[in-house]
Amino acid sequence: MTTILVTGSNRGIGLEFVRQYAADGCRMIACCRTPAKAEALKTVPGDVRIMELDVASRDSARQLAGVLKDEPIDILINNAGVFGPKAQGADDQDYGAILETLHVNSIGPLIVSQALKDNLRRGHDKKIAVLTSLMGAIGENGSGYLAYRASKAALNMIMHVVARDWARDGLLIGIYHPGWVQTDMGGAGASLTPQESVRGLRQRIAELSPERSGRFLDHHGKELAW
Ligand SMILES: NC(=O)c1ccc[n+]([C@@H]2O[C@H](COP(=O)([O-])OP(=O)(O)OC[C@H]3O[C@@H](n4cnc5c(N)ncnc54)[C@H](OP(=O)(O)O)[C@@H]3O)[C@@H](O)[C@H]2O)c1
């Protein structure tokens, strides 16, 4: 049975990952900041273990790793993310909010991947999926949303380096843009349902290979420019 850990799984795209993989019989470790309030997650049928994880906290990640001990994890999905402050233009000076966005979106996936690296090495698939955004692609850039764009550009670079460095450990890293998705972050007017996006992302994760590791793809598998 495949064991899959998802971060930020109490709502949005993360919740949909848990629903779809659990329906297929996977053993899910569904992580979120506040398990007591994860009402939708509690109703997901299947083998779903809800565990506490704040991805921005090294202590929280270490605590989770301590509870899991040497349990193998086949696939880690670094999904948790924030959009950051509303005002994010070149003249805004809310540096604290920019740093917080970078902390959660850019450093968080590294903290979690490092804390669970030994579990992943013991797993069968040895795969890490990271939810990034086309808004982090400098070649596709528009204006505004400075903190979010910068955090995803930094995430792309960090995970590209991780893919190179951890290839020697047999670990594979998929860097994925999920499309524009109807969640709290994407809004109701987004073009994709979470079901559609996650169906595509699961295909990308299934076909992740040493040749595809460290590449930036959308949910259809289209290669994106950095
Ligand atoms: N929706 C889109 O159109 C879109 C497009 C491109 C990329 N993405 C990316 O896809 C991922 C999922 O987005 P979404 O649309 O599902 O967003 P969402 O609906 O806003 O959900 C975000 C999730 O991340 C969790 N989270 C935030 N900070 C966290 C932290 N420090 N520790 C643990 N969990 C944390 C939230 O938990 P709480 O409930 O505790 O806040 C929530 O479960 C994000 O990385 C996002 O940047 C989304």
pLDDT in tens, the chain (226 residues): 999 999 999 999 999 999 999 999 999 999 999 999 999 999 999 999 999 999 999 999 999 999 999 999 999 999 999 999 877 888 888 899 999 999 999 999 999 999 999 999 999 999 999 999 999 999 887 788 999 999 999 999 999 999 999 999 999 999 999 999 999 999 999 999 999 999 999 999 999 999 999 999 999 999 999 9
Q: Whose CA is nearest to atom 43 of ligand 1?
A: 8
Q: Whose CA is nearest to atom 47 of ligand 1?
A: 81
Cβ neighbours around 177 below 10 Å, total: 24
Domains of the chain: 3-218 (3.40.50.720)
Pocket of ligand 1, candidates 9, 10, 13, 88: which has the most ligand atoms within 8 Å of its Cβ, to mutate?
A: 13
Which residues are bridge partners to 131 per DSSP?
176
Measure the CA angle with vertex 136, ends 130 and 139; round to 5°: 130
If you take atom 5 of ligand 1, which residue's CA is the nearest one? 180
Residue identifier of the C-alpha nearest atom 28 of ligand 1 = 81
Q: Report yes or no on whether pTM surpasses 0.95.
A: yes
Nearest-CA residue for atom 8 of ligand 1: 133
Ligand 1 centre to CA of 172 (Å) is 22
- Which residues line the pocket of ligand 1, CB cutoff 6 A? 7-8, 10-14, 32-34, 53-56, 79-82, 104, 131, 133, 177-178, 180-181, 183-186, 190
pLDDT at 143: 85
Q: Which of 6, 33, 155 to mutate to test the pocket of ligand 1 (most atoms within 8 A of CB)?
A: 33
Counting from 1 in the atom list of ligand 1, the atom nearest the Cα of 54 is 32
Residue with tokens 């309030």: 37
- From the list 183, 174, 186, the residue with the least C-alpha distance to 221 is 174
Q: What is the pLDDT of residue 128?
A: 99
Q: Are strands 3-6 and 48-52 parallel, antiparallel or unpaired?
A: unpaired
Task: Give 84-111 as a DSSP string.
Answer: --S--STT---HHHHHHHHIIIIIHHHH
Query: Which residue is associated with the tokens 């991805």?
Result: 55
